[in-house]
Structure 1
Amino acid sequence: MAGNTSTPGATVTSRVMALLGAFDEHHRRLGLTELARRAGVPVPTAHRLVGELTAHGALARDAEGRYTIGRRVWDLGHLAPVQSGLVETASPFLHDLYAATLVTVHLAVRDGEECLYLDRLRGHASVPVVSQVGSRLPLHATGVGKVLLAHAPAEVQERVLARPLRRSTPHTVVNARVLRTQLEAVVRDGWATTSEEMTLGAASVAVPVLRRTEEGPDVVAALGVVVPPKRLQRSRLVAGLQVAAQGIGRALGPG
């Protein structure tokens, strides 16, 4: 949630950003009062600014009077370099991987201390998948998230491990010592796996996407698949993921 922008001296820009930032994975539709509360903006001010944002397409209002992120914000988001460059380059490799496996395929990057999903191809199998393009999930509870956390700077890892880890299912690893051991194994082995840690009935395998730089290989993203736990053929999936990830890294070229 955004900070309290109702304090004196808050700019119009900070209030607009607070209103947009009030939406998240669990709050996709908000009434005006709740939107103002989550943004820390007085209701009269929120009413005025939300009206302007809606008129410009940054927000949309549904039949029940609640607000959602508008198409204009979605269009602008696709102009971000991480979207237009990485997603476009990775797309054919994601489709090849999907064609070979027919399972759900994910491309994700680390955004601060969260896992941001850039692309997703939905598999044929009936597997509960909570991720969507643009959604953010905990780094510690997903395959792609564990890959990204394992290769994150030490200070990021320490911040994540120092705070209470959210338990999404009974199988979520919330013990910092156990998670640290898992992250070390991810770096050593080159892949991560989870079983029903984010959602029951779903397992995942993921690998890093490496790009060559002058300082050496840099992990720019994680590529993963989601399957039913009983279909978790790890060696076969890891092999396919690594071929696709290597292809993406070569296509990206030196950083």
Structure 2
Amino acid sequence: MSEWFHAEGSRQVGPVSSEEIGSLFRDNRIGLDTLVWREGLPAWQPLRSVVAELGLTAVPPAPLPPPVPPAPDPTIPPPVSPASIVPDSSPYAGPGVSRVPPMAMQPAKKGLSGCALTAIIGGGALLVVVPVCAILAAIALPAYNDYTIRAKVAQSIATLQPLKAQVQEFHQIHSRCPSSSDPGFPAHDAFTAQGLSSVQLGQFENAHCGIEATLGVGKPQLDGDLLWLEYSPADSAWECSSDTTDKYLPVNCRG
């Protein structure tokens, strides 16, 4: 009498007799697709291929199909002897039967969850965004600081426009350059609120009338620097110059 083995989920069960295989089939405990093996078969076979050998002519009514567990790989080589195939949990194991571990089933790979993917994408984005923001900040902040200083200097120079007109008018009337001591002119500290710590009037060595202003905009890199506005009576023209850095000056005051 042949001894048979059959797959049950991820286990190999046996040996059982041909009658027991038939009984399991009629009780719907195994089906036509269940893998079986006996000594002499080259590999595991579905039950439907050996129904004639087992004398299974009646097919039992099909119940509602249960969830199909992973089937063992048919290419797994058959055991060397029937006694060496019975797994530890087999109900058919008896005295003198060697126990072997059940067939190894490859665990299903788990995919990344949505949260994990979001975290990975977010982390990658941060690795790109943070350095870019740092580079932009390193470029933008100094440029913005220079812009604010330049705006303050330009505003301070603009406050001297009325004084320029007063100097020009004085020269036309008196044919000389005014000084800070002449009546009608503001005191030397009259423009401190406009970013000029001191303003002096006089005549330069080139005979031009001039305004000499000391910057005081609250920035240590240029406070104390001098600004000169020169009036040429010969052509009634004004020139602007300074000893401060050009990038902080209006274009018409740069050397």
Instruction: With the length of structure 2 as denominator, give the TM-score of the two structures.
Output: 0.19
Instruction: With the length of structure 1 as denominator, give the TM-score of the two structures.
Output: 0.19
Structure of greater Rg: 2
Query: Larger % of helix: which?
Result: 1
